Chains A and B, each alone.
Chain A
Amino acid sequence: MSALKGLRFCDFTGQLAGAAATKWMAAFGAEVIRIEDPTNNGAWDVLRNNPPFVDERRGTDLGGGFNNHNVGKLGITLNLKTARGREILEEIIAKSDVVTENFAAGVLERLGFGYDRLREIKPDIIYVSNCGFGHSGPYRDFKTWGPIVQALSGLTFNSGLPDMEPAGWGFSYMDHTGGHYMSMAILLALFHRMRTGEGQWVDMACCDTGLTLHGPALLDYTVNGRKARREGRPIGNRSEWPAMAPHGIYRALGEDQWIAIACRSDADWQALAAVIAEDWANAPQWATLDGRIAGQDELDQLMNAWCSARDKFAMHRQLQDAGLAAAAVLGARERIDEDPANDHFDMWPTVTHSAMGDVRVDGLPLRMSRTPQEISRGGPCIGEHTEQVLTGLLGMDIEAIAALREEGVI
């Protein structure tokens, strides 16, 4: 059974920040109709023609990231600069439950489809927009993408070694996370509409979303007046709240090999010291959390020296057997193809893409017992479902569609 079957999305999202949200909807059975611009082959979503590629072919339909984020969605083209294109869009909106986009603020309104217009077309429409600063405030005209949102919302700052430049995030964490909050907002608005009949416009600002992820640190500021920009911050891989030591990512045997170890308590330390089985580990100064925190620099050096002579997987097993929270730091091949941890979840489903063939994609990290997700169809090629949607949903005939093609509407 599909939890969201029967719901229809008129979807302008792209890249990851928006596409992640409607990927969820499609996986649970909603009909997601992606609207793209035929005059530039949907180039607004740069991922359409960006690496990685499955083979030497390049082109609009071959971007690996685009497929990953758009599985299960339908794709149509519609030239919104033509009157007929706008009319068709209105017909689609009239039959949709939700309109989604992650353009820069104001773009959809300038196309003639701001919330007021959407509401005229479909009074109970749910409209969810997701951009960096939302549609109000002093920066509403500023542009962002993931790394800029992360910079503005404190996330980049909070990642790094003490007194060094920020390490930041090696990927667009806020595209993922913005997409997830966008998805929550859609679901909340749908639930509200089911119970009241009322639609609404959710004006998401991804920078706001990002800043909500700093709770305790922010309260440390508003309650205690403590600013995060100070000597010794950020704290690298150490743990302050809760206080743990040793707590870090230590060098293991081999090139760029690492192990993560979190010593949560004095009992953990006793177990760790027993595994280490070297004299230094039995020194009384390490027996208490206060002692381990006070001597953290030295302790981390000792841990590095011990770990660097050992294989990360061997340590992982040995430390876990001793009841410790420890894990080999895994790269892509190791975690995707060699780690059995995810076997219970269909983590890397294979989808069939019309141009790329069979490709593996990111799955969803969960199981729902009654309404499981289904991820099997690849992302749409440009205009792949134009005919299907115009005939099936809008009842057009083949001649009318041929004429639209002739006029450059689709």
Chain B
Amino acid sequence: MTALSGIRVIELANERCALAGKLLADMGADVIVIEPLAGAVSRGYAPFAEDIPDPERSLHWWHYNTSKRGVALDWTVPEGRDALKMLIGGADLLLEAEDPGVLAAAGLGDATLSGAMERLIHVSITPFGPLGPRSMEQATDLTILASGGVTMACGYDDHDLPPIRPMGDHGYAMGEHFAVQAALTALIFREAGGEGQKIDVSLNAAANVTTELSSYNWLVAGITLQRQTGRHASPYISMPTQYRCKDGRYVNTGLPPRTGKQYELMLQWFRGHGFDKDFPETVFLEMGTKHPVLDLAKIGVDDEVTAIFSAAREALAYASSQMTAYEFFESAQKANIPVGIIYSPDEAFEDPHYKSRGFQVEMDQPQLGRKVRYLGAPYALPASPWQLSRVAPMLGEHTDEVLAAAGIDAEELRRSGAII
């Protein structure tokens, strides 16, 4: 049994809630994504399969709509709205990301929905929530991350370069992750005998509480952090942690050792590769082994501690210049020194770790007449497994079957122009 089998979700197609729908669908919920007759906007997003632009070939659509069924329905006309209302009436969850006021204008406002449907859980994801001075502002992933404090923490040491938005629509994802947690929490409450409810999620607010140190340094101590290349934003300039290896790829070395035992491990590893011969500061690593714990507060104050700490950084930098990124990652980790290789997404996908955990999932892709490898599970629930139950729906693929099951006369609806 899947965790959400028997749970029906009506999702109004929108790039701001597609991931939330996918997370529910891949856990077994029956998610029906409702698209306008011309198809969801994101069907027009590149990249396209084999670079052929076509609404059935958008890889954006393919990824974010796995395990869902698809209905094409114009709910801005009265007949379509009534059909949608019936579908929502038969659902446990309504998931949507319409701008504030859009549903109310279509006759599907809060009063209509919650009045008629006590058990409905209605999840609404908007850039700024339904109310407030910025609720009607225009927003995209970029502006959300910019306004929400994420970009100000990301970038380079050189502040002539702009703050950076990490690629991948994370501004939407941050809010959607909260939305799914809230939806599941509401489902548990209802299962225990409670009623349905309305859940409002603000993307801007979600970004605001996804900045780790930036927010709580201000909240607790009134401290503002500065962005830095490849490492945490900080109140002061910290030492680099990212190094370029022999093969041109980068690694992240995290924190250098801080205890005598860690210095011993590092020294052993360093000597094992013969790096100590050309690295005079090895003597400071040896000194590090004599300190049970290095007092980081003494960096810059105590010459010996400063030299030991710097030598560890320099040693990691030197080692990385002598090895490929993968060699560095694997050999340091095997020596119990936590470092990471900076993979591109596709390089990660082919790494033995992901392969060994069954992360590559093959699906038959009718548009191509062959199998396509998809990303695997974000978490593994063995008793109620994650599963791609189907590839993303074609436009209107399940319109007739969904309407029929809901007792809606498709022919009449077709005559009204609400479906094709």
Contact = CB atoms under 8 A, between A and B. Distances in A.
A287 interface: no
Interface stretch (A81-89, A226-234, A400-408): A226-234
A331 interface: yes
B88 interface: no
Interface residues of A, number: 154
Given A200-B382, A369-B199, A191 B250 contact: no
A108 interface: no
B147 A327 contact: yes
B336 A143 contact: yes
Contacts of A239: 140, 142
A342 B242 contact: no
A261 to B, nearest CB: 8
Given A52-B220, A234-B167, A335-B148, A147 B340 contact: yes
B348 A249 contact: no
A219 B180 CA distance: 24
Interface string A158-180: 11110011111111110111001
B202 interface: yes
A359 B219 CA distance: 7
A303 to B, nearest CB: 11
A395 B339 CA distance: 46
Contact of B357 (A134, A323, A360): A134
A323 B206 CA distance: 23
A237 B170 contact: no
A366 B50 CA distance: 40
Interface stretch (A274-282, A343-351, A382-390): A343-351
B312 interface: no
B205 A138 contact: no
A192 interface: yes
Interface string A195-218: 110111111110111011111111
B197 to A, nearest CB: 4
Interface stretch (B71-79, B101-109, B183-191, B395-403): B183-191
Interface in B163-219: 163-168, 170, 173-175, 177-182, 184-189, 191-192, 194-206, 208-219
A219 B202 contact: no
Contact of A192 (B200, B221, B383): B383
A157 interface: yes
Contacts of B195: 370
A234 B165 CA distance: 11
A72 interface: no
A344 B132 contact: yes
A151 B252 contact: yes
B194 A340 contact: no
Interface stretch (B40-48, B267-275, B277-285, B302-310): B40-48
B191 A194 contact: yes
A137 interface: yes
B324 interface: no
B219 A211 contact: no
Contacts of B208: 335-336, 342, 347, 362, 365
A16 interface: yes
Contacts of A143: 333, 336, 338
A344 B129 contact: yes
B59 A220 contact: yes
Q: Which bracket fits the contact residues of B? A: 35 or more
Contacts of B63: 215-216, 218-219
A345 B174 CA distance: 16
B133 A148 contact: no
B194 A371 contact: yes
Given A64-B216, A241-B46, A211 B197 contact: no
Interface in B326-354: 333, 336, 338-349, 351-354
B181 A192 contact: no
Contacts of A212: 375-378
A151 B338 CA distance: 12
A405 B20 CA distance: 48
B198 to A, nearest CB: 4
Contacts of A133: 353
A133 B147 CA distance: 33
Nearest to B157: A167
Contacts of B228: 170
B200 A367 contact: yes
A218 B110 CA distance: 38
A56 B122 CA distance: 46
A363 B205 CA distance: 9
Contact of B219 (A68, A148, A166, A191): A68
A363 B333 CA distance: 36
B132 A161 contact: no
Chain A CB count within 10 A is highest, among B156, B162, B202, B365, for B162
B169 to A, nearest CB: 9
Contact of B3 (A191, A220, A247, A264): A191
Nearest to A188: B3
B25 interface: no
Interface stretch (B30-38, B230-238, B314-322, B405-413): B230-238
Given A213-B173, A341-B128, A342-B208, A149 B340 contact: yes
B184 to A, nearest CB: 4
A142 interface: yes
Nearest to A237: B165
Contacts of A264: 140
B219 A360 contact: yes
A47 to B, nearest CB: 10
B420 interface: no
Contacts of B149: 330-332, 335
Chain B CB count within 10 A is highest, among A145, A164, A219, for A219
Contact of A160 (B1, B164, B223): B164
Nearest to B49: A223
A308 B188 CA distance: 51
A170 B196 CA distance: 38
B111 interface: no
A173 to B, nearest CB: 7
Given A3-B194, A167-B156, A216-B60, 9 more contacts: A134-B380, A187-B185, A200-B384, A201-B382, A208-B377, A220-B59, A332-B217, A344-B132, A368-B198
22 contacts: A3-B188, A68-B216, A144-B340, A148-B252, A150-B340, A151-B252, A157-B344, A159-B167, A165-B244, A165-B250, A167-B156, A169-B153, A171-B212, A181-B177, A216-B45, A222-B374, A226-B47, A244-B140, A260-B151, A330-B146, A330-B152, A366-B206
Q: A-B pairs with the 9 shortest C-beta distances?
A: A215-B63, A365-B205, A154-B345, A170-B153, A151-B340, A148-B340, A260-B146, A64-B220, A159-B166
